[in-house]
Structure formats: structure tokens, C-alpha cells
Structure 1
Amino acid sequence: MNTESLRVNKQSWDEAAERFYGRNPLPEYGPLAPTEDELKLFGDVRNLKMLEIGCGSGHSLKYLDQRGAGELWGLDLSITQITAAKALLENAASPVRLFESPMENNPGIPADYFDIVFSIYALGWTTDLEKTLSNVHQYLKPGGLFIFSWEHPMYNRIRAKGGVLLMDKSYHEEGSYQHEAWSQPAIMQQYKLGTYINLLIENDFKIEKVVEDVSLSDEDIQRHANRWYSYDKAKALPAAFILKSRKS
């Protein structure tokens, strides 16, 4: 676990939290990606115990509360995000427990407890992917689901310039990097899709679904178009990937 990266990212998220309030929560999985309404990866969540890794402002947990989830748990690195989530979920029908914590640490989350652990566009912020996946495996009941989404590894390696797509970074290159679309200093992690899949397998998960589709309706394009996510790139390669796995 890189404590300096965590320090930088915590400060960055505390400053940027307001800008990302309610951005791309469930049923969305990320910019220009299919939604849970289309994919139905979660299934019936009534009475299930749910834990979100990188819960942000709490809007994905609210979505699950509205669908009858039994318990809502979440952790996030940013105290600003946790404060916003607590306010949003104050009147939730389900019991709520939120932790200010990096995903690489266990702040007091029980083992073998959750039916579903999920992460919506947050896992790439981990400074130790293997430790984070090990934690997730520990939290889940046997047979429990882990569902997460993140920016597709190819998307960051290709630029759209003058109507042409140019690959300016090797797909084989992995490790930390500063994302050019992030306004504050922030350190994310770059992995190949195979690295995510193989680490899941090594941590005793069974892969059930990998989604690399895009959603390019007029509404999607208008809602997500900016200098980083664009129709020109997304019509040629996925902006996000979604992965569903199950604890063996």
C-alpha cells in the first residue's frame, strides 16, 4: 500500500467531492456504458447485505435501498464523500454503516458477511489491487457476488486527434499514473484487463460476466461528452468495462 498516493488522493477527493456528487451512480456503471437496468447483474437485492467499495456520495447505495436491500455498508477514502453519503442516506429504509477508509484497509468490516460487494468506477484508485481483492473475498459470504466497473484499460492508451485514433501508450505498461483529465493531483493505477481477471482467479473468484459494450444513445452522448469521454473514441473502443464474479 502506497501511503503517499493515498495521502494525495484523499486530499484530491476531499477537494473534488462536490463536483462528483451523484456522478454516474447505479443504475449507471460509468460513462457511455450499459446500465444495470439493461444488464441486471445484481438481480433481486431484497433483504441482501450490500457493501460498496468507494461509495462516494452514497447514490448507488440509495438506489439499492430503494430496491429493498437489507443492509447498506460503504467505505470511501474521502471524509467529504462519507459526510455527503451519511446525509443522503439519513432516511434510508435499510440500516446503514459507512467508513472513512482506504479500500486497501479493513476498518472493521465483518468477514463472510455480505451477499454482494460492489464498486462503481472506483477500483482503479486502489494502490494495491491484490490486497483490495483479498479484502473483498474476505468480506463476502461463500457464493457471494463481486461486481465492479472501471475505465477500460484501452481507453486511456488511445487518443482521438483530428478524427484519427492514435495509440500513444503501450497496453503492456502497468502501474501508477496521473490521469490527465483529473484537475487536482491524483494517482490512479493502470492494469491490463487480464490482470484484473487473473488476480480475481488467484483470489478464488469465479468469473461470470465481462462486459465491454458501449451505450451511444443521444442521451448518453449528451450526458457524458467532455474532453475525455467522447463519441469519437467510444464508437471504436469501450470507455468502461464491467466484471461480475462470485466467491468460490
Structure 2
Amino acid sequence: MLESIKEDIILSNKKSWDDAAPRFFGRTALPIYGPILPTENELNLFDDLSGKKVLEIGCGSGHSLKYMASNGASELWGIDLSDTQIEAARTLLSVVNNTKVNLFQGAMEKNPGIPIEYFDIVYSIYAIGWTVDLGRTLQNLYSYLKPGGKFIFSWEHPIHSRISQNGEQLIINKSYHDEGLQQCEPWDRPAIMNQLRISTYINELIQTGFQIEKIVEDVVIQEEIKSGDPAVWYTHKKASLIPPAFIIKCIKR
């Protein structure tokens, strides 16, 4: 029964993403990791990308893969749940020269034909929280990497959605310990994300076999986003008190 529920959620999320994809074209893509986070230009988590085979989980419109190509990656691979996103990525990456491109439409919980122990880097920019089964997804990602390969991902900080803004006040409206598949609040259509604690991510990574190298919860507030409007999902007020997002870098042992 649980597996059939997960399949239903994946299909529902696919429909929602197919409809919403144009709104997210080019958004939250490298060198940006997520809202109010330091960028890759500042963090240098990927190091030298020259000649690297890279795989993106939740590749969206392909802008992060294009960034990888511009920094010397030799092969670009991506998977995304949305057909609309994959078509956008194919179009965007069609102009990339001298770089192999392979894109798959499918759920991150399943392997659609991605080679095993092949990649130097697997990464995910603000997409991993859409998995309905984190353990299974991480096992897949681990299998795709060469020994010593890197897995880097960013996602919304789990405390962010637990706190709402009411004028100048921040109010805890949900328990941090409340985990599981839940409706994504900012979306006006069915969109189920996996709300998990930071410790759950860390423990699942360790159990899978990853060695955690770095966790980033830093905030970089730009003048142009200093909004106090509670209708904005990521505000300066909240970011000045709690991290809106996080990044984890780990290594396949």
C-alpha cells in the first residue's frame, strides 16, 4: 500500500512540475545553490571540473548542467521528473559543443538506465527534498559514483517551513520533529515534498556509506532581497535569524 501511495505522489508531482516548469526556467541554478546561500564562486565545493563526468539529480531546465560545461566538464548527465523540464534542458544544452549530453525523464527513486560507478560528481541543486524515499534515492546516487566521487546537494532548511512571519514576529507553527511527506506550502497545486530533519539527512547519508565533508548553513543577504513582506517565502527577516537553506558535500568511501 505504501509503495502505491508513493507512486501516486510521484505521478501527481510530475503533473504539477510539468505545469509549473516555465515559471522555474533558469531559477536556482549554479553557481547559485539556493535562496540567500553563498554561491559556488565563494564556496568552490566542486573544485576543478575539467574532464569530469557529472550527473545532476533534478536537472530542471539544464542551467546548472550548462554551468558545468562552461567549467570544463566532459560529460553532462541529468534526470528530472518533468517531461517539460527535460525538453527545456535538451533545447538549452543543444548548443553545448564537445560535451556529451544524456538526459532522462524519470523519478530519482529509480534508475532509468544511468551507468553504475561511472561519475566523478553527482549533485542536486534544490531538488532532493522532492524524493518520496530518501534512502532509496541515496542508494541510487551512491551506486552511480566512482569510489572517491563527490555528492553535493542543496535544499531548503527544514526549520524554515516550521516558522512563519506575522508582521515583525516570527512564529513557530509546526514541530521540527514532524517529518514525512507533506504539501509544499508555497504551491497552489498538489505538490508533495519530504519534510525531514537535518539529522535525518546526515544519518541517511552515513548509513548509505557517504563520508560527510562539509555542511553549509551560512546566509548571504543581498540588498535587493531585503524584503520584510510575509507573502514572500524567503525573507530577510527570517534569514537574519534562521538559515533558509543548507548545502552538504560528501564523498563515496
TM range (shorter): over 0.9
Using the alignment, how far apart are the partners of 1:4 and 1:221 within structure 2? Answer: 39
Partner of 1:142: 147
Partner of 1:45: 49
Deviations 1:71-124 (A, max 9, x none): 000000000000000000002131100000100000000100000000000000
Using the alignment, how far apart are the partners of 2:55 and 2:139 within structure 1? Answer: 15
Q: Which residue, out of 84, 88, 96, partners 1:84?
A: 88
Using the alignment, how far apart are the partners of 1:30 and 1:182 within structure 2? Answer: 17
Partner of 2:181: 176
Matched, 1:237 2:242: yes
Using the alignment, how far apart are the partners of 2:114 and 2:93 within structure 1? Answer: 19
Q: 2:78 is aligned with what amino acid?
A: G
Gaps of 5+ in 2: none
Per the TM alignment, residue 24 of structure 1 is displaced from its structure 2 partner at its CA by 1.2
Partner of 2:159: 154
Deviations 1:178-209 (A, max 9, x none): 11101221101100000000000000000000
Per the TM alignment, residue 218 of structure 1 is displaced from its structure 2 partner at its CA by 1.0
Per the TM alignment, residue 220 of structure 1 is displaced from its structure 2 partner at its CA by 4.7
Per the TM alignment, residue 226 of structure 1 is displaced from its structure 2 partner at its CA by 5.8
Gaps of 5+ in 1: none
Please, what TM-score do these two structures have when normalized by structure 1? 0.97
Q: Which residue, out of 49, 54, 76, partners 2:58?
A: 54
Q: Which runs of 4+ in 1 moved over 4 A?
A: none
Per the TM alignment, residue 221 of structure 1 is displaced from its structure 2 partner at its CA by 4.1
**What SS does the aligned partner of 2:153 have?**
strand
Q: 2:121 is aligned with what amino acid?
A: I
Q: Which residue, out of 151, 161, 166, partners 2:171?
A: 166
Q: 1:216 is aligned with what amino acid?
A: I
Q: 1:91 is aligned with what amino acid?
A: V
**What SS does the aligned partner of 1:38 have?**
helix
Q: 2:187 is aligned with what amino acid?
A: W
**What SS does the aligned partner of 1:145 have?**
strand
Matched, 1:117 2:122: yes
Using the alignment, how far apart are the partners of 2:140 and 2:173 within structure 1? Answer: 34
Partner of 1:71: 75
**What SS does the aligned partner of 2:204 have?**
helix
Contact 2:225–2:235 (CA under 8 A) maintained in structure 1: no
Using the alignment, how far apart are the partners of 2:78 and 2:188 within structure 1? Answer: 25
Per the TM alignment, residue 228 of structure 1 is displaced from its structure 2 partner at its CA by 0.7
Matched, 1:32 2:49: no
Contact 1:32–1:221 (CA under 8 A) maintained in structure 2: no
Deviations 1:141-196 (A, max 9, x none): 00000000000010010011121111111111100111110122110110000000
Using the alignment, how far apart are the partners of 2:195 and 2:129 within structure 1? Answer: 7
Q: 1:140 is aligned with what amino acid?
A: L
Using the alignment, how far apart are the partners of 1:42 and 1:219 within structure 2? Answer: 27
Q: Which residue, out of 215, 218, 223, partners 2:220?
A: 215
Q: 1:233 is aligned with what amino acid?
A: K
Using the alignment, how far apart are the partners of 1:226 and 1:98 within structure 2? Answer: 35
Aligned-pair identity in percent equals: 56
Partner of 1:247: 252
Q: 1:42 is aligned with what amino acid?
A: F
Matched, 1:19 2:19: no
Q: 1:152 is aligned with what amino acid?
A: H
Please, what TM-score do these two structures have when normalized by structure 2? 0.95
**What SS does the aligned partner of 2:59 have?**
coil
Using the alignment, how far apart are the partners of 1:205 and 1:226 within structure 2? Answer: 38
**What SS does the aligned partner of 2:26 have?**
coil
